[in-house]
Chain A
Amino acid sequence: MKHDTPRPDANAHFRANLKLIAVLLSIWVFVAFGCGILLAPWLNQWNLPGTTFPLGFWFAQQGSIYIFVLLILVYVRAMRRIDNRYGVSED
């Protein structure tokens, strides 16, 4: 799908960027400090489905790391779209 050439709008681009950062960092805090640390003792009463990992332990020593990689991946993809939408992409 071909868009019309967008009008560069730096302020709107930055606001969209901030909103995305806020969403992703909220997940980041919840996973790292919530699931990985503060809620981990409570989560340990279950196992990660299909494995023998206690859930809190899994978040602390495996899952949080996978989720961090995913968060960056989502950011990279979403920012590329936002760059294009507001006409500030490097291409």
Chain B
Amino acid sequence: MDIQGWTFLLVGLSFTLYIGIAIWSRARTTGDFYVAGKGVHPVANGLATAADWMSAASFISMAGIIAFAGMGGSVYLIGWTGGYVLLALLLAPYLRKFGKYTVPDFVGDRYASQTARVVAVLCALFVSFTYVAGQMRGVGIVFSRFLEVDITLGVIIGMGLVFIYAVIGGMKGITYTQVAQYCVLIFAFMVPAIFLSIMATGHPLPQTGLGAELEGGGGLLQKLDQLHTDLGFSQYTEYGDNMFNIVCITAALMLGTAGLPHVIVRFYTVKRVRDARSSAGWALLFIAILYTTAPAIAVFARTNLIESVHKTSYTEVPAWFSTWEDSGLLAWHDRNNDGVITYAPGKLTAGRPVFATTETGTPLRGSHGERLLSTDTLVPGDNELYVDRDIMVLANPEIAGLPDWVVALVAAGGLAAALSTAAGLLMVISSAVSHDLIKRTLVPTISERGELRVARIAAGVAVVCAGLLGIFPPDYVAAVVAFAFGLAASSFFPVILLGIFWKRFNAAGAISGMLVGLCFTATYIVYFKFVNPAANVPTNWLFGVSPEGIGVIGMVLNLAVGVPMALLTKPPSAEVQALVESIRIPGD
């Protein structure tokens, strides 16, 4: 059986499994639909949270991002895992004790304000929609790359699948499919990683292999630092400058992680407060398996790339080079006409490379057989190589010469990562509409069955919208990640935190703080990412903080406005204060 056959088989089997689970765990009540009947075991919830959290980007792109950023990539590792400590200690147990269905539910009840509830609904919808667009796109890309199916058809297949288990199963269906998806994705991530680690270091465990002593002394990191120095790159194990910006980005990712509604809502699904605490620990443990492996893959792949390509004649490079050149993820332009690939700091092209073709679309080839680039996107410099960072995970099995079924496994894993995150986000969208907007704001008299029907319809509509965003992606999908985290950090996180830990905090403080934090962060990101991207350079940044880290400043502003506003207005009512006291203790 060839790669395609294996891919169809493994992807087909995994999809059948997900649908089977959805039918088995069909939701019958709104409680089932929104929070899986609050009966999920903490370990199962940890697995589901890990799959919910790790998206197509974590699975496919993160190792590649780290491989190219080196030490600078640590912001993602520390930020995206450190946020779970905040979740476990500051948010999850109290929100579980509160025990309603959504994040806007908490905001609305705690501040006894419909305005606050609606602002929270809008934030939740915005954050989730921007995020889900990227996931559906990820599904399409995996399909098209591995199964040679059109991206649109890939997205439609993904939509159909999510539709079945989100609409039928609700949170209950999603929880148990996410458990299965975690198992698929972690297996698919670890198998190639272990093979690579054995090849590079002789150790089966990538985490220890990375720090192992190699034959001839020194470790892989010392070797890579030396390669970097030889090629003129900065050291792999050292940060660049502007540590303040690095601190801000890390903090924004942590606060954003803790404030993302699709992650928070997972902690509503367990039985007890102490299960909420422990399932945050399980979730981080399961996430840590992938997050401590990714930096090892990054180093293996980066070393391998430099050693097998740099100063190698094009006619002698390994076969995978031309395969990925054909798919446009690798490119070489022979600047000095010596037939040898030179890898050096600096870009080859502005943006993605554009390949030269004949009028009929046949690729043009140079004298060594390489694909020629259209010369107008080239930028001056010495570097002759373009490497797409996604290649680091996607091409690994091939580079390592692993069997076809491992390549197919990576496809199934990428799909599991994208689908599980998409489903979690769709639940947030559906419950924000059916529960917070319809039931709690517009039609409070709606029956349980009516609400369940609205929830299913909302989930269905959200799937279709997400699919359309995946088929016609707005060209800012990459830029919106900063958005989702910045907004969650500057709006949700402080409002929920103060709602739990400061009884005196009231609606006036919450609403003014959220609006100020949100407007500031959104304006800053929109200006640098969309209005004037050319100005997005360190000298123009406020305090040297990039748009990725600005959510922290937004949160400080939120507090700077919200706290005095709360002190100048009336304290919350006795009922609200009693609510706050009750969520601080686990028992009744």
Interface residues of chain A, those whose CB is within 8 Å of chain B, are 8, 10, 13-14, 17, 21, 24-25, 28, 32-33, 36-38, 40-41, 44, 48, 51-54, 56-58, 60-62, 64-66, 68-69, 71-73, 75-76, 79-80, 83, 87-90
- Asked if A40 meets B71 with Cβ closer than 8 Å, knowing A65-B77, A83-B274, the reply is yes
Interface size on B, residues (CB 8 A): 53
**Known A48-B211, A61-B71; 6 more pairs at CB < 8 Å:** A13-B585, A21-B90, A60-B77, A62-B292, A68-B82, A71-B89
Question: CB < 8 Å: which of B71, B247, B277, B292 contacts A75?
Answer: B277
In the complex the two chains form, what is the Cα distance from A25 to B83 in whole Å? 11
Asked if residues B288 and A76 are in contact (CB atoms below 8 Å), the reply is: no
Closest 8 CB pairs of A and B: A52-B219, A51-B211, A60-B74, A72-B281, A53-B211, A61-B295, A57-B237, A88-B585
Q: Which residues in B have their C-beta under 8 angstroms from that of A10?
A: 581, 584-585
Question: CB < 8 Å: which of A32, A36, A56, A90 contacts B237?
Answer: A56
Residue of A nearest to B219 (CB): A52
| Partner-contacting stretch, out of B138-146, B167-175, B238-246, B480-488 | B238-246
Q: Which residues in A have their C-beta under 8 angstroms from that of B448?
A: none
Asked if residues A37 and B247 are in contact (CB atoms below 8 Å), the reply is: yes
Q: Which residues in A have their C-beta under 8 angstroms from that of B273?
A: 90
Q: Which residues in A have their C-beta under 8 angstroms from that of B277?
A: 72, 75-76, 79
Q: How far is the CB of A6 from chain B (nearest CB, A)?
A: 12
In the complex the two chains form, what is the Cα distance from A62 to B78 in whole Å? 9
Listed residue (A8, A54, A71) with the most chain B CB atoms within 10 angstroms of its CB: A54
Chain B interface, >50% SS class: helix
Interface pairs (16), CB distance under 8 Å:
A10-B585, A14-B584, A25-B85, A33-B250, A33-B251, A37-B78, A41-B238, A54-B237, A61-B71, A64-B81, A68-B84, A68-B288, A72-B85, A72-B280, A88-B587, A89-B586
In the complex the two chains form, what is the Cα distance from A65 to B289 in whole Å? 10
Q: Which residues in B have their C-beta under 8 angstroms from that of A24?
A: 85, 89
Asked if residues A17 and B584 are in contact (CB atoms below 8 Å), the reply is: yes
Q: How far is the CB of B501 from chain A (nearest CB, A)?
A: 8
B221 contacts partner chain A, Cβ-Cβ < 8 Å = yes
Q: Which residues in A have their C-beta under 8 angstroms from that of B212?
A: 51-52
In the complex the two chains form, what is the Cα distance from A54 to B577 in whole Å? 50
- Asked if A65 meets B71 with Cβ closer than 8 Å, knowing A28-B82, A52-B213, the reply is no
In the complex the two chains form, what is the Cα distance from A51 to B210 in whole Å? 9
Asked if residues A76 and B74 are in contact (CB atoms below 8 Å), the reply is: no
Q: Which residues in A have their C-beta under 8 angstroms from that of B128?
A: none
Q: Which residues in A have their C-beta under 8 angstroms from that of B81?
A: 64-65, 68
- Asked if A37 meets B278 with Cβ closer than 8 Å, knowing A66-B292, A72-B85, A90-B273, the reply is no
Asked if residues A69 and B587 are in contact (CB atoms below 8 Å), the reply is: no
Q: Which residues in A have their C-beta under 8 angstroms from that of B584?
A: 10, 13-14, 17
Chain A interface, >50% SS class: helix
Asked if residues B295 and A37 are in contact (CB atoms below 8 Å), the reply is: no
B54-85 Cβ-contact flags toward A at 8 Å (1 or 0): 00000000000010000101100110011011
B291 contacts partner chain A, Cβ-Cβ < 8 Å = yes
B285 contacts partner chain A, Cβ-Cβ < 8 Å = yes
Q: Which residues in B have their C-beta under 8 angstroms from that of A52?
A: 211-214, 218-222
In the complex the two chains form, what is the Cα distance from A79 to B285 in whole Å? 19
B207 contacts partner chain A, Cβ-Cβ < 8 Å = yes
In the complex the two chains form, what is the Cα distance from A87 to B587 in whole Å? 8
Residue of B nearest to A64 (CB): B78
B511 contacts partner chain A, Cβ-Cβ < 8 Å = no
B525 contacts partner chain A, Cβ-Cβ < 8 Å = no
B88 contacts partner chain A, Cβ-Cβ < 8 Å = yes
Q: Which residues in B have their C-beta under 8 angstroms from that of A57?
A: 71, 221, 237
Q: Which residues in B have their C-beta under 8 angstroms from that of A66?
A: 288, 292
Question: CB < 8 Å: which of A60, A61, A73, A89 contacts B587?
Answer: A89
Q: How far is the CB of B41 from chain A (nearest CB, A)?
A: 15
B230-270 Cβ-contact flags toward A at 8 Å (1 or 0): 00000001110001001100110010000000000000000
Residue of A nearest to B251 (CB): A33
Q: Which residues in A have their C-beta under 8 angstroms from that of B74?
A: 36-37, 40, 60-61
Asked if residues A37 and B280 are in contact (CB atoms below 8 Å), the reply is: no
Q: Which residues in A have their C-beta under 8 angstroms from that of B274?
A: 76, 79-80, 83, 89-90
In the complex the two chains form, what is the Cα distance from A87 to B585 in whole Å? 10
Q: Which residues in A have their C-beta under 8 angstroms from that of B333?
A: none
In the complex the two chains form, what is the Cα distance from A64 to B250 in whole Å? 13
Q: How far is the CB of A77 from chain B (nearest CB, A)?
A: 9
Q: How far is the CB of A76 from chain B (nearest CB, A)?
A: 5
Question: CB < 8 Å: which of B77, B218, B238 contacts A64?
Answer: B77
Q: Which residues in A have their C-beta under 8 angstroms from that of B239?
A: 37, 40-41
Q: How far is the CB of A15 from chain B (nearest CB, A)?
A: 10
B284 contacts partner chain A, Cβ-Cβ < 8 Å = yes
In the complex the two chains form, what is the Cα distance from A33 to B243 in whole Å? 10
Q: How far is the CB of B39 from chain A (nearest CB, A)?
A: 15
Asked if residues A83 and B586 are in contact (CB atoms below 8 Å), the reply is: yes
B272 contacts partner chain A, Cβ-Cβ < 8 Å = yes
Q: How far is the CB of A23 from chain B (nearest CB, A)?
A: 11
- Asked if A33 meets B247 with Cβ closer than 8 Å, knowing A64-B77, A66-B288, A88-B585, the reply is yes
Q: How far is the CB of A38 from chain B (nearest CB, A)?
A: 6
- Asked if A76 meets B278 with Cβ closer than 8 Å, knowing A32-B250, A37-B78, the reply is yes
Q: How far is the CB of A5 from chain B (nearest CB, A)?
A: 13
Q: How far is the CB of B373 from chain A (nearest CB, A)?
A: 34
Asked if residues B585 and A37 are in contact (CB atoms below 8 Å), the reply is: no
Which of chain B's residues 554-588 have a Cβ closer than 8 Å to chain A? Answer: 581, 584-587
